[in-house]
Amino acid sequence: MASPRAGSATRQRLLDVGMAMFLEHGYHGLGTQALLEAAHAPKGSFYHHFRDKHDFALQVIDEYMRQVHAGLDHCLDDRTRPPLLRVRAFFELTQRSYAEDGYLGCLMGNLGQELSGTDEAFRAKIESCFAYLASRIEGSLEEARGVGDLPSDTDAGAMAALLVDCWEGAALRSRLRGSPEPLTAMLDFYFGRAIGS
């Protein structure tokens, strides 16, 4: 009998490999057999850990968000930098991870485009992830306003939502081009002109 630790390791490996495969192939392009082979996981392990492919994909999004949360904490909690630089640092960190993946875009954005029109569970899950991201950024923009780095009448919530929306659009263009240029141009515009930092 496999130990609980071995089972947990198999589940994590499936999530990690599934994240990369969803990013490259999308939801409909991923087969469970191909996943098991890529993860070097025994047959039957998929349904031991996940109810079905739908449940697996939702858990992959949760795992992806754990990584996003870690990046947010690392950058936004860094009190050695002013708040606007902390926000930009998070997106630059994310851009580096996109480079490592070959500029395949944002997993949430990709799955959202593929599934949100046909699956309410995915739509709600991905929208809540984007809302959380915007709320964390809003806190830093509020802090920037409080120290005078943004005008006193800045709507931090609206500016945070705009940043997330613009980033997702740039991530799509980056995937289409296989290039970092749309991401860099968007950050330069947002931080250089949209908020005038």
pTM: 0.91
Residue numbers of the domain that contains 105: 55-194
Query: Looking at the structure, do residues 110 and 181 belong to the same domain, yes or no?
Result: yes
Q: Return the CATH number at 182.
A: 1.10.357.10
Query: Who's near 45: CB < 8 A, 6+ residues apart?
Result: 10, 11, 14, 36
Q: Report long-range pairs for 28-37 (Cβ below 8 Å, ≥24 apart).
A: 28/114
Distances (CA, A) of 133 to 139, 154, 163, 167: 10, 19, 10, 12
Is there a single domain that holds both residue 36 and residue 59?
A: no
Q: What is the CATH number of the domain that holds 9?
A: 1.10.10
Q: Report the amino acid identity of residue 79.
A: R
Look at the chain and report how many structural domains it folds into: 2
Tens of pLDDT, residue by residue, the chain (197 residues)? 344 455 689 999 999 999 999 999 999 999 999 999 999 999 899 999 999 999 999 999 999 999 999 999 999 999 999 999 999 999 999 999 999 999 999 999 999 999 988 999 999 999 999 999 999 999 999 999 999 999 999 999 999 999 999 999 999 999 999 999 999 999 999 999 767 65
Do 76 and 138 fall within a single domain? yes
Q: Do residues 144 and 84 touch, judged by C-beta distance below 8 A?
A: yes
